[in-house]
Amino acid sequence: MQPIIRAFCASTLAVAASVSFAATPVDAPQSARAGWHPAIQSGYDLLADETSQLAEQANRYCEAPDEKQREQLEQHWRDAFMAWQQVRFVDFGPVENDNLAWQFQFWPDPKNLVARKASYLTKSDQPITTNIIEQSGVAVQGFPMLEYLLFDEALSTGESALPAPHSCALLTTVTQHIASNSKQLSADWQNFKTPYLNTEVYHVSTLKSAMAALEILEERRLAKPMGLRGNGKRNPYITDAWRSGTSLLSVEATLRGLQQHFMPEFLGLLEQKGELQLAERVQRQFDAALDNFPEADRPMTALLSDDNAFRILQGLYVDVSQLATLINDQAAVALGVVRGFNSSDGD
């Protein structure tokens, strides 16, 4: 996973941003969409490629399970999951069809539906088929189900632990479902190019989707498990990838996805409004948030359980919070974006 999310270094943002700054398009919103579309397309293409490899590795593992194949399977899950995190901020367009976003990642899961459905399916006499997966709901169909099969401690010590036949059937069928959805999403986004470029509303949709992603990142993926919201108690089990210990790796991937697929054109829009200093402040704050990694690349449980380690998490939260304030408040005002109700956070 590391080569994938670290390939998008700060220099890429700086170069892309300078190109955007140098341009003086007649229609800045349309020009921004002309940059956003291929950027998001590259993210969807990567997701399709990584999930395809994941499905292939799941089949190889279940056909001839051994320790090496298992390690490769877990790494392919991480690679594919991080590819999803990079484009997770896009909450409009083709990803809305058939609740695709929820199919990729059912979260939050306060009732532990993933575990309950996995327990039922792995212990059932009913064959695991494509139709069963499609009829079982979004809690079964995405990365959290695979994470449960691969990383849940209780499952791994029971009779249903991989490579048990029913669990392997569930693993291979779900990975194929994700790969199929990813391929379709990539194709649908390509076909979405004309309406996206020619419809003004998608300009605001793109801006709001990134702003909502930052809000969810700050409030639900960091503040709540840190005990900064709600009952004030630290709780790693409400994060979105606690079983695999990759909650913070997914935070990094989300930030790098925004950096790669959204920020260059966003900074260009600010410059077009004469907000060059604000654009520079946003870029510096983005760099500051990413500078917390790789030190913060640890399981959330480890950082929440030790006060000294918790300071690392506090530093990341402060940087993300300041970034969200710059973009969701100051930049939003500068660009005339009116924030509305956000329904994409699971509430």
Tell me the DSSP string of 258-293: HHHHTHHHHHHHHHHTT-HHHHHHHHHHHHHHHTTT
Question: What domain range includes position 24?
Answer: 2-335
As a 3-state breakdown, the chain gives helix, strand, coil percent values, each rounded to 5, of: 75, 0, 25
Burial 229-260 (b: 16+ CB within 10 A, else e): eeeeebbbebbbbbbbbbbbbbbbbbbbbbbb
d(CA 281, CA 283): 5
Tokens of 89: 């901020």
In a domain, 73, yes or no: yes
Q: Is the residue at 342 inside a domain?
A: no
Question: What per-residue confidence (pLDDT) applies to 339?
Answer: 75
Tokens of 171: 């693993």
Q: One-letter amino acid identity for 233? A: K
The predicted pLDDT at position 24 comes to: 39
pTM for this structure?
Answer: 0.91
Residue 344 in any domain: the answer is: no
Structure tokens that stand for 287 in this block: 């760099």
The reported pLDDT for the residue numbered 27 is 79
Between the two ends of the chain, the Cα-to-Cα distance in Å is 30
Is residue 343 assigned to a domain? no
The answer to whether residue 345 is domain-embedded is no
- Looking at residue 27, the DSSP 8-state letter turns out to be S
What distance in Å separates the CA atoms of residue 5 and residue 12, rounded to the nearest whole number?
A: 13
**H helices within 7-142, ranges in order?**
10-22, 28-63, 67-87, 100-104, 113-123, 130-135
- Contact between 17 and 264 under an 8 Å Cβ cutoff? The reply is yes
Measured distance CA(246)–CA(123) in Å, rounded: 27
Q: Please name the residues in contact with 20: beta carbons below 8 A apart, sequence gap of 6 or more.
A: 35, 264, 265, 267, 268, 271
Q: What angle do CA 143, 56, 48 make, to 5 degrees?
A: 60
Q: What is the predicted pLDDT for the residue at 15?
A: 38
Q: In this structure, is residue 69 part of a structural domain?
A: yes
pLDDT tens, residue order, the chain (347 aa): 444 444 434 434 443 443 343 343 447 899 999 999 999 999 999 999 999 999 999 999 999 999 999 999 999 999 999 999 999 999 999 999 999 999 999 999 999 999 999 999 999 989 999 999 999 999 999 999 999 999 999 999 999 999 999 999 999 999 999 999 999 999 999 999 999 999 999 999 999 999 999 999 999 999 999 999 988 999 999 999 999 999 999 999 999 999 999 999 999 999 999 999 999 999 999 999 999 999 999 999 999 999 999 999 999 999 999 999 999 999 999 999 987 654 444 43
What is the number of structural domains in the chain?
1
What are the tokens at 151?
A: 């990383």
Nearest to 5 by CA among 46, 36, 40, 45: 46
Q: What is the CATH number of the domain that holds 39?
A: 1.20.1420.20
Instruction: Report if residue 341 sits inside a domain.
Output: no
The predicted pLDDT at position 19 comes to: 39
266 found inside a domain: yes
Distance CA 198, CA 186 (A): 19
Give which of 16, 45, 37 is closest to 197, Cα–Cα: 37
pLDDT at position 1 is 44
Q: How far apart are CA 182 and CA 50, in angstroms?
A: 9
Sign of CA dihedral 211, 251, 309, 219: positive
pLDDT tens-place string over residues 209-235:
999 999 999 999 999 999 999 889 999
Cα–Cα–Cα angle for 155, 156, 161, rounded to 5 degrees: 80
**pLDDT for 340:** 65
Q: How many CB atoms lie within 10 A of CB 289?
A: 26
